[in-house]
Amino acid sequence: MSEYAIEMRNITKTFPGVVANDMVTLQVKHQEIHALLGENGAGKSTLMSILFGSYSADSGSILLDEKPRDIKNPNVATSLGIGMVHQHFKLVQNYTVAENIVLGMEPTKGGMLDMKSARERVAKLSDQYALKVDPDALVEDITVGQQQRVEILKTLYRNANIIIFDEPTAVLTPQEVDELMDILKKLRSEGKTIVLITHKLKEIKEVADRCTVLRRGRCIGTVIVKDVSEQDLAEMMVGRAVKFEIEKPEQRVGKVMLSLQNLQVTDQSGIVRVKDLSLDVHEGEIVGIAGVDGNGQSELLGSIIGLLPLSGGAILLDGKSMGNLSIRERIQAGLGYIPEDRKKFGVVGEFSIAENTALKNYYLSPYRKRFGVLDFDAMKNEAENLIKQFDIRSAEGAQTNTGSLSGGNQQKVIVAREISLSPKVLVVAQPTRGLDVGAIEYIRKRIIAERGKGRAILLISFELDEIMNLCDRIATLSKGSIVAVNKQNEITEYEIGLMMAGSKKEAVR
């Protein structure tokens, strides 16, 4: 048997205007957990999509056990023993676990569907790999962590010996993350080869044998994980030293600036997503909302910024009700917002940096001249100041098309715009999602700086380490309701994780 289960040699893949992979070579040994690390846009997912057959490389070769392979599509990949657990699960919610697993490969007996043997094999695989999944449960009735195990079972049912995991911990509680790490180790011990795409250095250190780092589409190098530190990995990823410790000045708390009172919010289908939620945020503090994605965070954000109407309750900003205010009136009242999806809600990709930084106050002086004519020179000058102040890396300064910027620099444009308006309340959602550690370091420092200026900051993040590092108080959200609110130094990640799953804090301690 050859040393390497996978060899991807000199892989190049281009998209219009972008070189996603530039002569990348990846070598993965048999029966190892091999991490693939890189900033957003570094080419990790593209490379693995080529291995799984979702994309075709422009040039380069793929070898499995030293044999050249032409992987034209995912069906070919599956036939070669390659499986992929996607970040966004591909499950039919009203099917059972067993039905989802065998879908497309249903066993028959005498020309009839044989679900009995399928169920038995699913149960056997579940026991063999300690996945603990009920084959008869409906997918819609099981947890996110269990749904991920169903995806793993799908690959095992198809006899995968190589399994790719794409950001597998993005939607899991801390307890589910720990369980997944154990599952990965179990898969390795059973002879499987694992490729783990992740940006979480702690998880790489915990479970990976080796790690290949990509930066801007190029391979920086492969290291033995036990021989390097998180700091070393971070420096390889971004090309410079990164500080992990966040210095938080002593807190000076003022009056309540944002008050959420018994909020109830329904989605467009009429389903209640936020239930009787109450929370206060004071001047000079950061209050974090921790919770697994899909527990009402988006609906809560929509109600605060004015995209969704309230079904009940009230929202007060500096003691004044915002319930009937338009989005512009909320901004004028002192509400700032860094959205969870920067491309969908944060910037207009076709606009320049100057136009994007003026999106919320273009109608005011100095941008507006007589008869409503815009002063583009004033917009450009202000944008150039913000580019310097917030270290926005751009090819053509204020005239740069925002869509051409990296994810981190797009986020800096949004942060610059919102902070420059000096809001009384700053609502921050997923501020570092998909960013490299260098951009994460910068964005977190800016948020802490705004706390020092007396801003009231509401932070919603799925990254528990971000919540624990930045926040003064933490509200844990489960199924649209706040389970508990705790001071940061009086709660652990483990306890928050249990509450995210629905447990009461009293039951935790």
Provide the H-helix boundaries in 170-211. 174-189, 201-207
In whole angstroms, what is the distance from residue 435 CA to residue 458 CA?
20
The predicted-structure confidence for 159-203, as pLDDT tens digits, reads as follows 999 999 988 886 677 778 888 899 999 999 999 999 999 878 888
- Work out the average pLDDT over 305-311: 91
Residue 283 has pLDDT above 90, yes or no: yes
pLDDT band at 503, cuts 50/70/90?
low
- Work out the average pLDDT over 275-292: 94
Residue 401 vs residues 267, 345, 405, 453, 477: alpha-carbon distances, Å: 34, 16, 7, 31, 38
The predicted-structure confidence for 227-248, as pLDDT tens digits, reads as follows 999 889 988 987 777 776 777 8
Cα diameter, the chain:
82
Q: What is the pTM of this model?
A: 0.72
pLDDT of residue 1: 65
What is the residue extent of each domain of the chain? 4-238, 252-334+425-435+449-509, 343-422
Q: Which residue has the higher pLDDT, 500 or 227?
A: 227
Q: What share of the chain is helix, strand, coil (3-state, %, to 5)?
A: 35, 30, 35
Residue 270 has pLDDT above 60, yes or no: yes
Above pLDDT 90, what percent of the chain? 49
Topology adopted by domain 252-334+425-435+449-509: Rossmann fold (3.40.50)
3-state secondary structure 365-432: CCCECHHHCECHHHHHHHHHHHHHHCCCCCCCHHHCEHHHCCHHHHHHHHHHHHHHCCCCEEEEECCC
Asked if the domains at 4-238 and 252-334+425-435+449-509 fall in one CATH topology, the answer is: yes
Residue 340 has pLDDT above 90, yes or no: no
Instruction: Kindly report the backbone phi and psi dihedral angles of residue 82, in degrees, each rounded to the nearest multiple of 5, phi listed first.
Output: -105, 130
DSSP label at residue 455: -
The predicted-structure confidence for 393-443, as pLDDT tens digits, reads as follows 887 889 898 888 877 788 889 999 999 999 999 999 988 876 767 778 888
Instruction: Reply yes or no: is the peptide bond before residue 366 cis, omega within 30 of 0.
Output: yes
Both structure tokens of 62: 């793929």
In whole angstroms, what is the distance from residue 497 CA to residue 290 CA?
9
pLDDT band at 76, cuts 50/70/90?
very high
Cα distance from N-terminal residue to C-terminal residue, the chain: 52
Strand partners, 109: 112
pLDDT of residue 200: 81
DSSP reduced 3-state for 436 = coil
Q: Which residue has the higher pLDDT, 302 or 373?
A: 302
The predicted-structure confidence for 375-386, as pLDDT tens digits, reads as follows 888 889 999 999
The predicted-structure confidence for 86-103, as pLDDT tens digits, reads as follows 877 888 988 999 999 988
Residue 11 has pLDDT above 90, yes or no: yes
Residue 509 has pLDDT above 70, yes or no: no
Domain 4-238 in CATH 3.20.20.100: no
Instruction: List the single range of 19-33, 101-115, 484-498 with lowest mean pLDDT.
Output: 101-115
- Work out the average pLDDT over 58-71: 95
pLDDT of residue 90: 85
| 276 Ramachandran zone, left/alpha/beta (phi>0; psi -120 to 50) | left
